[in-house]
Chain A
Amino acid sequence: MAQELGQLPMGWLLTALIVIVVASGFSIGRIRAERYLIAGGQKFHSRGNYHGYYVAMWGFIPPLLVAGLYVLFAKPTALGLLSSELPEAFHTLSSAELQSYLESVANAAAMGGYSGSDLVFATVTGRYLELWGSLKGATLALMLAGAVTGIMYARRKVSPAFRARLRVERGAEAFLFLCAAIAIATTVGIVASLLYESLRFFAEVPFTDFLFGTRWNAQTSAEFGALPLFFGTFMIALIAMLVAAPVGLFSAIYLSEYASVRTRRYVKPLLEMLAGIPTVVYGFFALLVIAPAVRASALGINSFLIELGAANGPVLAAQPTSALAAGLVMGVMVIPFVSSLSDDVINAVPDSLRDGAFAMGATKSETIKQIILPAALPGIVASMLLAVSRAIGETMIVVMAAGQRARISFDPSTDLTTITVQIVALLTGETEFDSPKTLSAFALGLVLFVVTLIFNLIALRVVQRYRDKYE
C-alpha cells in the first residue's frame, strides 16, 4: 500500500485537491449566507459571494502551507529516515559516498522503482518508496484535514454582521504583496550573495589593488587589477553609444514626427525586433562578419600610412577580434532601447506645443529642434542611460568578438576584454569555489551591478521628473 502511495503523482493531486477545496468552500460559504438571507431576511454587510470567497480562502490557506512544507522537506525527511534504517554494512561508507548512494536511490525511486539485479539496492529503493509513500499519504491527509478545519472554522463565521468583504480584500492584498515580495526577495538574495562572496575576495586581495591595479591576470598568476577590464567595458560601451545614440534618436524623431501612422505601425515593431534577436546571433555576426572587416580596414590604413611615409611600421593593431567590432554590433543591438523610449517621450510632448509652434509660423524642423526636443530632453537622456547600462552588462557579443586580453589601449582595432567576459572566463571550466580566482568574479559582478544600478536610478529619476512636469 505505502509503496503504491509512493508512485502518486503529487502535483496533480495537490492541484485537484485545491480546486475541490476552493470550489466547495466557496459554495458552502455562499449557500450558508443565502440561507440566512432567506430565513431571516436580514440585511447582510457583505454580499453572498464574499462569504463564499472568505470560506474558500480559509479552505485554501492551510493545505497551501502543508504543500509548501512538503516541497521543502519531504525528500530530506524520507532520505533521513532511510539512512537511519540502513544496516551495519553501510556504516563503513564515508558521508560523501553515502550521500551519492542515497541520491541514486532517490533517482531510481523517482523513475518508478528499481528492477535490476542488485538485490540490496532493490530492497533499499523499495523501502525508500514505502517511506516516501507514507509521507505523501500523510501530507495529503494533513492537507485535507487542514482544508476541512479551515472551511468549518470560516463557515461558522458567516452571519449578517460579519464583514466578509473586508477580510477578502485584505486576503487579496496579502496575496498580491506576496507576489511582489518574491521578486524583491530574489533581488535581495542575489545582492547579498554577491556582497558576501565579494567580501571574502576582498579579505584576500586589497580593495584598492582590485579597483586601481592595472594588471589583470586571474587565470594564471594572481593579479587582480581590474582597471583594464573597466577600461575595456567603457571603451566598448562608448563605441556602442556612438552608434546607438544618433541612429536611435534620429529614428525616434522620424517615427514620431515624420512617419505616417501606417509607416509607424510597421516600422516601430520592426525596429523593436532588433531587441528580440538573441545576443549570441549578434555575437557570431560580430565575430564572422564585422571583426574581419574591421581588421581588413585597419590593415588597409596601416599600409596606406606606410606608403605615404607617415609611419614606418603598422600603426593600428588590426587584431582578428576587436573593440570596434564588438562595439559596433552592440551599438546596433541597443538602438531600439534608445529609439523606442525616445519615441515614447517625444510622443508624450503635448500636441498643444506643436500647434503653438506651427501657429507661430515655425517650420517642422524648427518646431522639432527648438520646441519638441528641448521639452523631451530629460526623457531622451534617460533612454541613453538605460542603453548604456544595457551595453555595459552585455556579455555574449563581447565574449565572442572583443577578445580576452586585459589591457588599456585607445586603438579601436585592438582586442580588449570586459568585466562580463572575465566573469564568464573565471566561472566556466573546472573551478573550486573558494579560490580568489573564482571569488574575483563575484567582486566583478558587484562592480557591474553597482554601476548599472546607478545608471538606472539616474535614468528613472530623470524620467520621473519629466513626467511630473507634464501631468
Chain B
Amino acid sequence: MDTTYDPALAGEGADDGQPLLYPRIDCRDVSVFYSGKQAVFDVSLPVFDRSVTALIGPSGCGKSTFLRCLNRMNDTIDGAKVTGEIFMDGENINSSHIDPVLLRSRVGMVFQKPNPFPKSIYDNIAYGPRIHGLVDDRQELDAIVEKSLRRAGLWEEVKDRLGQPGTSLSGGQQQRLCIARAIAVRPEVILMDEPCSSLDPIATARIEELIDELRKRYCIVIVTHSMQQAARVSQRTAFFHLGHLVEMGDTDQIFTSPRERRTEDYITGRFG
C-alpha cells in the first residue's frame, strides 16, 4: 500500500497556481477505537492548504470517524480513543494539553444534516463570534454576519429577514447557513461531513459551487458518498476501506489511473 506523500504530485489541482510545499495538517499513524473496537487503522495522511481533500469509501469505512479526529469531535463520544499524531502548524492537536474548545474555533465543521440552532438567522451566525469574543460592538458583529452570509452565498436571500428563525429556511439554505456559521469564527480549516447528502440536486450544485469558491481561502476536508462529487470538487482524494487508508493522491489520478485494485473496483462500482 502506497500512502507516502509525493511532493511532485501536490497541488496540481489547485487553480491559483501556488505550489503547496507543506501540508496544512499532517496525520501520522492515526487510529481510533470505540469502546476498545478499532475503527480506523494507522492512517497517515497530509492535508494541503487552499485545496479540497475528499475522503471517499463505502459506508462504515471510517472516513467520518477520521474526519472527526481533525477537530477532536471524538472527545464528545463516550469510550472513544484516538492514538497517533495530528500536526497542525507544527503542533500535535491530538495531545492532551491542547484545548479542544480553542482547536474547534480554528477548525470549523459542517454536518451531514443541516443543524441550525433554534435561534434567528442573525444569531446563528453571531453565535461563534460572540462566544469567542471576536467582536467589540454591534457594528463589527453586523459586519461579520454580512460577510459570512455573503461568502456562503446566502446574503441576497436572507438579508431582509435576519430576525427569522434559522429553521424557517429550506434545507439547502439551512446548510449554507451552517457553512456561514462555521466561517464566522474565521477558521483555518473547514471539515464537511457529507454536507449534501440530505439535499436535492439543485441545492447540492449550489453547495458545490460554494465549496469551490471557499477553496481559495480555506483548507477543506470533505467526506462524501458521491464519487461524482469528489471528482467535481476535490483536488486530492483519499480512499478508505474497512478502516484503512487504501490510496490517496490527486483526484485526477485516483479516478483515471488508480494504483490499487480495491480503489479501481470501488470507483468502477464493483463494490460499495
Q: State the Cβ distance, B48 to closest chain A Cβ, in Å.
A: 22
Residues on A with C-beta less than 8 A from B111 are 352, 355-356, 359
Tell me, yes or no, whether B185 is within 8 Å of chain A by CB. Answer: yes
- Tell yes or no: A301 within 8 A of B by CB: no
| B182 CB to nearest chain A CB (Å) | 7
Q: Which residue of A lies closest to B167 (CB)?
A: A469
Q: In the complex, are the beta carbons of A353 and B117 less than 8 A apart?
A: yes
- A131 partner residues in chain B, CB cutoff 8 A: none
* Residues in chain A near residue B71, CB distance under 8 A: 359
Min CB gap A53→B, angstroms: 45
Question: For window 353-381 of chain A, which residues contact chain B by CB distance below 8 Å?
Answer: 353-363, 366, 370-371, 374-375
Contact of A71 with B by CB under 8 A: no
> A356-B178, A366-B131 are contacts. A350–B115 as well, Cβ < 8 Å?
yes
A355 with B118: CB separation less than 8 A: no
Tell me, rounded to whole Å, the shortest Cβ–Cβ distance linking B8 to chain A.
35
**A359 contacts B101, C-beta separation under 8 Å:** no
User: Given A354-B76, A355-B73, A370-B127 in contact, is the A361-B185 Cβ separation under 8 Å?
Assistant: yes
Q: Find out whether the CB atom of B115 lies under 8 angstroms from the CB atom of A361.
A: no
Q: Decide if A308 is an interface residue (CB 8 Å cutoff).
A: no
- Judged by a CB distance under 8 angstroms, whether A261 is at the interface is yes
How many chain A residues sit at the interface, stated as a range, is 20 to 34
CA distance A375 to B167 in the complex (A): 12
Q: From known contacts A353-B115, A374-B119, infer whether A359 and B108 are also in contact, taking CB-CB under 8 Å.
A: yes
B78–A361 CB distance below 8 A: no
* Given A353-B115, A374-B118, A375-B118, also A361-B76 (CB < 8 A): no
Q: In this assembly, does B102 line the interface, its C-beta being within 8 Å of a C-beta of chain A?
A: yes
How far does the alpha carbon of A19 sit from the alpha carbon of B94 in the complex, in Å? Answer: 70
The distance in angstroms between the C-alpha atoms of A355 and B131, with both chains bound, is 16
Residues of B within 8 A of A366 (CB): 131
Instruction: Let me know if A359 and B131 touch, CB within 8 A.
Output: no
Residues in A neighbouring B131, C-beta threshold 8 A: 360-363, 366, 370
**Chain B residues, CB < 8 A from A370:** 127, 131
Query: Which residues of chain B come closer than 8 Å to A187, judged between CB atoms?
Result: none
* Alpha-carbon distance A360/B129, docked complex (angstroms): 9
Residues of A contacting B101 in the complex (Cβ-Cβ under 8 angstroms): 361-363
How near does chain A come to B194, taking the closest CB pair, in angstroms? 13
A260 on interface, CB distance cutoff 8 Å = yes
Q: B251: CB under 8 A from chain A?
A: no
A360 touches B115 (CB 8 A): no
Q: A165 to nearest B CB, angstroms?
A: 40
Within 8 A of A (CB), among B72-127: 73, 76, 78, 101-105, 108-109, 111, 113, 115-119, 127
Whether B105 and A356, one on each chain, are in contact in the complex, defined by CB atoms closer than 8 angstroms, is: no
Bound form: Cα–Cα A341–B116 in Å: 25
Query: Does B161 touch A at the CB level, under 8 Å?
Result: no
CA distance A356 to B117 in the complex (A): 8
* Contact indicator B118/A359 (Cβ below 8 Å): no
| Docked pose: A352 CA to B127 CA in angstroms | 16
Which residues of B from 180 to 197 have beta carbons under 8 Å from A?
A: 181-182, 185
Contacts of B116 in A (CB 8 A): 356
* Contact count band on B: 20 to 34
Distance (whole angstroms) from the CB of A7 to the closest CB of chain B:
66
Q: Does A360 lie within 8 Å of B182, measured CB to CB?
A: yes
Residue in chain A with minimal CB distance to B76:
A358
Distance from A70 Cβ to chain B, minimum over Cβ atoms (Å): 60
Partner of A357 from B78, B103, B113, B117 at Cβ < 8 Å: B117
Q: Is B23 an interface residue (CB 8 A)?
A: no
Judge if B132 is at the interface, Cβ distance under 8 Å. Answer: yes
Whether the Cβ atoms of A359 and B182 lie closer than 8 Å is yes
Chain B residues, Cβ within 8 Å of A260: 78
Does B132 contact A361, Cβ atoms closer than 8 Å?
yes
Contact of B73 among A353, A358, A374 (CB under 8 A): A358
Selected from B76, B119, B167, B181, the residue in CB contact (under 8 A) with A360 is B181
Q: Do residues A355 and B76 form an inter-chain contact, with CB atoms below 8 A?
A: yes
B128 CB within 8 Å of chain A: yes
Q: Are the C-beta atoms of B127 and A261 separated by less than 8 Å? A: no
Q: Which residues of B contact A363 (CB under 8 A)?
A: 101, 131
A469 to B116, CA, bound (A): 13
Contact present for A360 and B78 (CB under 8 Å):
no
Which chain B residue shows the least CB distance to A366?
B131
Q: Which residues of A contact B118 (CB under 8 A)?
A: 353, 371, 374-375, 469
Name the residue on B nearest A260 (C-beta): B78
- Tell me the bound Cα distance from A260 to B77 in angstroms: 11
Taking the closest CB of chain A, its distance from the CB of B2, in whole angstroms, is: 33
What is the bound-complex CA distance between A210 and B73, given in angstroms?
A: 63
A358 to B102, CA, bound (A): 11
Would A371 and B76 count as touching, CB distance under 8 A?
A: no
Query: What residues of B have a CB within 8 angstroms of the CB of A356 in the complex?
Result: 111, 115-117, 178, 181
Residue of B nearest to A375 (CB): B118
Beta-carbon contact of A359 and B117 below 8 Å: no
- What's the Cα separation between A370 and B116 when bound, in Å? 13
A352→B76 contact, CB < 8 A: no
Determine the distance from Cα of A352 to Cα of B118 in the docked complex, in whole angstroms.
12
Chain B residues packing against A (C-beta within 8 Å): 71, 73, 76, 78, 101-105, 108-109, 111, 113, 115-119, 127-128, 131-132, 167, 178, 181-182, 185
Contacts A360-B108, A363-B131 known; list 9 others, CB within 8 Å.
A350-B115, A353-B118, A355-B115, A359-B104, A360-B181, A360-B182, A362-B101, A375-B117, A469-B118
5 nearest A-B pairs in the assembled complex, by CB-CB distance: A361-B105, A359-B109, A352-B115, A361-B104, A356-B115
> Can you name 26 A-B residue pairings with CB atoms under 8 Å?
A350-B115, A352-B111, A352-B115, A353-B117, A354-B76, A355-B76, A355-B115, A356-B111, A356-B115, A356-B178, A356-B181, A357-B117, A358-B76, A358-B104, A359-B73, A359-B104, A359-B182, A360-B105, A360-B108, A360-B131, A361-B128, A363-B131, A366-B131, A374-B118, A374-B119, A375-B117
